[in-house]
């Protein structure tokens, strides 16, 4: 189980516990966190679960794969090194304390 902080574009913070094995996207969806739409349901076929990972976590996450990188090309204002798709981030104890911020909008 990991505590993850989701920060809406306007600054509202939501701290939730997400079970290991779920994705960061599923944690947001299951807890009603606004700002992550997840239109494709986690298939890495859109960019509507795009977030900016807190700088302190950027190097602690698994490497981004080519499919996620391709989908980020469609995201709203991606930031190299910080933009990730939450459907591709599998929750483990190592993610306890993760902080992600939603962009202004999802496209």
Question: Per residue in 27-85, pLDDT tens?
Answer: 999 999 999 999 999 999 999 999 999 999 999 999 999 999 999 999 999 999 999 99
- Report the pLDDT value the prediction gives residue 6, as an integer from 0 to 100: 98
Could you give the CA distance from residue 18 to residue 4 in angstroms, rounded to a whole number? Answer: 7
Output the CA–CA distances (angstroms, integers) from residue 26 to 17, 22, 29, 102, in the order listed.
11, 6, 5, 15
- Report the pLDDT value the prediction gives residue 40, as an integer from 0 to 100: 95
The pTM of this model reads: 0.96
pLDDT in tens, 63-73: 999 999 999 99
Domain ranges, ordered by start, for the chain: 2-101
Q: Which CATH superfamily is domain 2-101 in?
A: Beta-grasp domain (3.10.20.30)
96 Cβ neighbours under 8 A, 6+ residues apart: 1, 2, 3
């Amino acid at each position: 189980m990991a505590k993850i902080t989701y920060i809406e574009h306007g600054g509202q913070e939501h701290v939730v516990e997400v079970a290991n094995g779920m994705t960061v996207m599923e944690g947001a969806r299951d807890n009603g966190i606004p700002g992550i739409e997840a239109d494709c349901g986690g298939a890495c076929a859109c960019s509507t679960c795009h977030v900016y990972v807190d700088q302190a976590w950027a190097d602690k996450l698994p490497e981004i794969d080519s499919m996620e990188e391709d989908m980020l090309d469609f995201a709203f204002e991606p930031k190299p090194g910080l933009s990730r798709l939450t459907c591709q981030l599998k929750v483990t104890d190592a993610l306890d304390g993760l902080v992600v911020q939603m962009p202004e909008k999802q496209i």
